[in-house]
Chain A
Amino acid sequence: MSIPLEFENRRDFLRKLGAASAATLAMGAPRLLGEEAVVQPEAKADCCILLWMGGGMAAPDSFDPKHYEPFRKGLQVSDVGSTFPAIPTSVSGINFTEGFAEIAKVMDRGTIIRSAVQPDLGHILHSRHQYHWHTGYVPPQTVAAPHLGAWMAKVLGQRNEAMPAFIDIGQRLEGVGEKEELKAFHTGGFFGSEFGPFLLPYPDQAIGAVQPPEGMTPGRFANRYKFYKKLVSEGQIGKSGSEFQQESMLRAMDKAHRLLSSKEAVAFDLSKEDEKSAAPYGKSRFGQGCLLARRLAESGSRFIEVTTEYQPFKHWDTHEKGHTTVKRLKEEIDLPIAQLIRDLEERGMLERTLVVIASEFSRDMMIEGVPGSNARDQTTHKVDAITEMKHYGQHRHFTGGTSVLIFGGGVKKGFQYGKTADERPFVAVENPVSIEDMHATIFQAMGISAKTSFDIEGRPFYATKDGIGKPAMDIFA
């Protein structure tokens, strides 16, 4: 399935792209700073897949089990750490919670970071923390901060010219709450839309995005383009001034056309997946998204994000009925995530693919934000003793310590890094990993220095805020 690069075209493309960059430079566009000063680390992975648990996945109910108390009437909230019992994983000494039996089986292929921390931003807005997690910068910002995927698209470029570098699966930007805030970070930022996300909100309809418009046969599509090229060559665009725009515009049209008629497009078509190999991924949007991510990684995308989709008060955003909701979610995602790891391994791709499972923050039964925060408590039912099932769950946002699971990209296998306290507050007590450090770690695996910077309006803008991110080098083998 791996497609060789078309070197002839690629060289041509790069040459012309060089001209374009030089021209935009004059107009104050991003410029790579101090190339000789930053040494890019050796890349351990060529592709990054981010599996996003939008809405705040509670570590104590997922990858970091604490004291378990089953539901019963009269149960004191303060007595509960986890609402799921712990289960063993394939690595002795590392436990997950019930419902993640499949992921537990592949733990011996990856590293669990138990000490990711987020800053206290006061009264919590999910999309603001997600913006922070995805760009490394807390909004508002004076310049539009690029998404993690845009950094990879910009610095590392496309892996395969016919595949978009940055693909985002499963998040709708219309018809959902906080959509404006979501749009604000689903962007190429100051790098421009060339490096922005290719949005595929519905994985089963992904093929539509890389096909001729609905109802147009491939023959008609090819014909339309042929006539277009003829019209261009017969046209009379200014012979002096506009060659540049003409060139760049035609190049973009050409790339788009090639993508829409390329054989790579089949990667977007889930109906082409063998029934047997598709089965473990199930029919949920997230499961289908994982399958799509695998196919796109195989075909040469650089960065792929698959989300359980953030919708206020849905999915991981549990303000009530937390336990029940998470139980259902786990059923939806456990096998697809594990299967993705197994598939990548089976295809010999896991070593060169970095898979990260993360969320904007954790949750807690008691504490909003971090201990001592002035963040407004947002749980729906403020009770001390649980009387109904809907009170049972992690209903407060917690930023003091959470888990991130990483596979591939040169990380150690069956390794735990950092930990949270055994007793509430479950804050990170060892090797805390800030968002800057988390990004530095991901960038390190991908071969990007955390200090990589671009000149934006005359000042440096770094891959991690102020270039301060330090990769957690201990997790690399």
Chain B
Amino acid sequence: MFLKFRRVLILLSLTLIGVAPAKIDFAHEVLPLLKENCAKCHTNGKHKGGLSLDTRETLFASDTVEVGKAGASIFIEVLTAEDPDDRMPHDADPLSADQIAILTKWVNEGLAWEPGFTFREKTWKAPLAHRKPELPAGASGGNPIDQIAQAYFAKNKVQPPEEISDYRFLRRLSLDLLGLLPTPQELAEFEASTAASKRMNKVRELLGRDLDYADHWMTFWNDLLRNDYAGTGFIDGGRKQITGWLYDSLKTNKPYDQFVRELMNPTSESEGFIKGIKWRGDVNASQVPEIQFAQNVSQIFFGENMKCASCHDSFINDWKLEDAYGMAAIMAGKPLEMYRCDKPTGEKMEAKFLFDELGEIDKKASKSGRLARAAELSTAKGNGRLARTIVNRLWARLMGRGLVEPVDIMGNRPWSEDMLDYLGWDLAENGYDLKRTLALIVASRTYQSATVARSEKLDDFVFEGAVAKRMTGEQFIDAVWEITGTSPGKIEAQVSRGAARAKVAVPGEWIWSATDSRPAGEEVVFTRGIRLPEKTTGKMIITCDNEYVLKVNGKEIGRDSNWETVEFYEVSNALQAGNNSIRVEAKNLGVTPNAAALYVHLQLVNADGESVVVTTDKRWIANGEAALEHGAKGWDTTVNAQIAEYLAQAVVGESRRALKVRASLVKSTLLMRALGRPNREQVVTTRPADLTTLQALELNNGAEFVSYLDRGAARLSSENEDIVGNLYLEALSRPPSDLESAVAKEILGKSPAPEQVADLLWAVLMLPEFQVIN
């Protein structure tokens, strides 16, 4: 059967060359016909008379069709049988001549089929509710991601990839969380640190750099929410930015549920999102702002494709025209008339939420009432899809591929339901704190492992480890601006980046004892109560001679036993309105009595941006008595600089870089467009993974890029430092090998002029190793 079919196809293609008849469209012409007339008896496992139409293959197997020969196909013959007992469909009106013509043509043209389409009901249906998976027994590691991954690897007989070095980890982490390369100084400090928890400390420190974080994630959210500083629609006031709101939301790590509510039921600052994009003139029914709302909310927040259903009942998923219009009606001024394929149907649609099992929307409610209700349903406790969709997107960003792929079809089965459900549950359970999810992922051994080859599989995909990612255009340009010192001086996005850095003093006192008076092995519990009128964010810097366990409101935040390093913690989630208790269980080590010390700096910021600092002082209680404050005895010279640095960068949120303005905060340029920054007319959730020739051309001789190289080279060639070594450290986060040094020095020559430095710069920046986050 199959061989014959192949031969017929070849014949067909030979005879049809030169003619271009209108071909039958399976999805729009054939499929609806089969659904209505044949599906009841011949699909979804039913195969009356031996005919199953579930897939193209089952149709072939029935031997009722001769591909290319409708005349010889029983499948067609039975449609016109004179005896009603023989005629199909049974016990129903015969098909019309037009319908028969469509099927005849379909058979004659080779039985085109929608790839992957099946009439069979999906055996797996994405659940809506949250689920907290049992973490696998016997797995170790402490990080739930690793526990789930270990069990998965064992079950699928996958050899887990090896752990990566500190250098590579820091480069990956810094680019993934902040979009920035680590500085050589940062690398050196990190490498030198011997603290057991140094990777986790670094994660906390980076996530605490609020401005750098917001700068970086603007790119991701601008792509998703179609926000930009210039673009289509603005010319006629058909579009409104949400830049200021978005930046503030990222800067303050606004809980994701609140974030979504503010987008769906907006204030004047965030209304640009649901207003959509309107070009001058009339718009076809499937692209009015209400439908854009239905499509974008469904896609961005829930990973559901409502684009087909905006025009007609979808053929590729279960959404109906009514579902799309139900969502659209939420923001419509009045009940919305449905259009099928741009023709009015005369039916009006009332507001209905996408997952209507979560609750109804009051038909009588005003527009703002409906929006508020939709926002409520979107973030309802029973709606696990909201959290799953975003954790999957974050996972894809960090790990190079989603738990579910494509990331916009959340109805597809994840490669690990446990992993997806756990992360989703954890996010919802912990105040929708996205930084927590990021921290959870990057703290895992699964993240901190060597990348594996990108898999092409979709259906039977097996996770073997993270895959390398290409830098976004913004990451690339930031890195280039940083290395060449050519960042522009002015931010074009209307964002509030807070006060400029003040001269940082270390305000706190050391407590415990500066004299050699504390017994070896002494354990002291230091506590401090703080009453907060409202929920605030908090960041903490701490170090202790010799050991500590830090708890906030009974929850362990962290521990360390090296007084020469200072740790940074984000403690916002542990804080609450009302009474709070800070507790440090400290221990003095040694063999004879010696000096002991604790330093804590807690920065609290309320919703209005007002900040209060709490440091160690005599108000702290030590084992029930007032703590002694005292001068520093050597501790300050070792760690004060670190504390000041943390205060400046982590607490104030300032970057330590030459890079003054990030690419995410300026209007798109030709170079950025060439490197994949979208024009944000459409929702973009995945940037292109490959460098194209046109991009490579732009990087070879594009005026913008060339000018960065030339200006950078002029600057670097006037410095007498180790150009090659520094460049490798800055760009690749590692020193050059001897061979690389030799080649690089060959490029530079004896006394490098700007031209040679520019060529070296170019060569290093073009290395795949530079452009890939590996």
Contacts and interface: CB of A to CB of B under 8 A. Distances in A.
A228 B110 contact: no
Contacts of A227: 743, 746-747, 759-760, 763
Contacts of A236: 737, 769
A1 interface: no
B468 A255 contact: no
A144 B406 CA distance: 18
A449 B115 CA distance: 19
Given A196-B694, A241-B451, A180 B25 contact: no
B451 A242 contact: yes
Nearest to B236: A125
Contacts of A70: none
A218 interface: no
Interface stretch (B384-392, B485-493, B626-634, B685-693): B685-693
A231 B767 contact: yes
B195 interface: no
B19 A39 contact: yes
A181 interface: yes
Contacts of B230: 180
Interface stretch (A19-27, A61-69, A303-311): A19-27
Contact of B279 (A139, A220, A243, A246): A139
Contacts of A120: 282
B52 interface: no
B232 A26 contact: no
B20 A27 contact: no
B132 interface: no
A230 interface: yes
A36 B115 CA distance: 11
A425 interface: no
A237 B739 contact: no
Contact of B690 (A28, A196, A249, A444): A249
Contacts of B231: 180
Contacts of A26: 405, 454-458, 461
Contact of B694 (A142, A193, A240): A193
Interface in B669-703: 670, 673-674, 676, 678-679, 681-683, 686, 688-697, 699-701, 703
Contacts of B317: 458
A144 B768 contact: no
Nearest to B280: A125
A211 B681 CA distance: 33
Interface stretch (A45-53, A79-87, A256-264): A256-264
B308 interface: yes
B405 A232 contact: no
A45 to B, nearest CB: 15
B415 to A, nearest CB: 12
B118 to A, nearest CB: 14
A257 B450 CA distance: 32
Contacts of B25: 451, 460, 467
Interface in B709-747: 737, 739-740, 743-744, 746-747
A6 interface: no
Contacts of A141: 287, 681-682
Interface in A302-334: none
B759 A224 contact: yes
Interface stretch (B9-17, B57-65, B504-512, B640-648): B9-17
B692 A252 contact: yes
Given A26-B455, A33-B115, A471-B20, A231 B693 contact: no
A248 B691 contact: yes
B537 interface: no
Interface in B173-219: none
A28 B456 contact: no
Contacts of B451: 238, 240-242
Nearest to B276: A140
A212 B763 contact: no
B689 A259 contact: no
A234 B745 CA distance: 14
B743 A231 contact: yes
Contacts of A170: none
Contact of A198 (B22, B461, B691, B694): B694
Contacts of A250: 768
Contacts of B703: 213
Nearest to B669: A174
A232 B768 contact: yes
Interface string B747-770: 100000001000110111011110
Interface string A1-23: 00000000000000000001011
A102 interface: no
Nearest to A190: B682
B697 A260 contact: yes
A211 B454 contact: no
A156 interface: no
B678 to A, nearest CB: 7
B772 A193 contact: no
B119 interface: no
B20 A458 contact: no
Nearest to B23: A451
A455 B116 CA distance: 11
A22 B458 CA distance: 11
Contacts of B282: 120-123
Contact of B701 (A31, A180, A211): A211
B755 A220 contact: yes
A449 B19 CA distance: 10
A469 B356 CA distance: 39
Interface in A60-109: none
Nearest to A447: B20
A37 B24 contact: yes
A232 B744 CA distance: 11
Contact of A231 (B280, B292, B670, B763): B763
B93 to A, nearest CB: 28
Contact of A234 (B28, B409, B737): B737
Interface in A420-441: none
A187 B234 CA distance: 19
B763 A256 contact: no
Interface string B454-484: 1111100100011110100000000000000
A194 interface: yes
Contacts of B315: 459
A374 B695 CA distance: 43
Contact of A184 (B21, B455, B679, B744): B679
B591 interface: no
A193 B457 contact: no
Nearest to A250: B768
A277 interface: no
Interface in B355-395: none
A245 B316 contact: no
A117 B39 CA distance: 42
Contacts of B406: 27-28, 457
A448 to B, nearest CB: 9
Contacts of B458: 25-26
B516 to A, nearest CB: 50
Nearest to A462: B25
Contact of B19 (A37, A41, A142, A256): A41
B22 A125 contact: no
A198 B46 CA distance: 54
Given A39-B16, A242-B772, A245-B690, A458 B706 contact: no
The 6 A-B residue pairs with the shortest CB-CB distance, nearest first, are: A241-B451, A37-B112, A122-B282, A28-B406, A256-B696, A194-B692
Given A140-B277, A220-B759, A230-B743, 13 more contacts: A23-B456, A27-B689, A34-B26, A140-B292, A142-B295, A142-B307, A193-B674, A227-B759, A228-B762, A235-B769, A237-B768, A243-B453, A451-B25
28 contacts: A24-B690, A26-B458, A28-B405, A36-B13, A36-B112, A39-B20, A39-B23, A128-B280, A139-B279, A142-B307, A142-B683, A144-B682, A184-B679, A193-B676, A198-B694, A224-B759, A231-B743, A231-B763, A236-B737, A238-B774, A241-B452, A242-B769, A243-B453, A253-B700, A259-B693, A449-B23, A451-B23, A459-B305
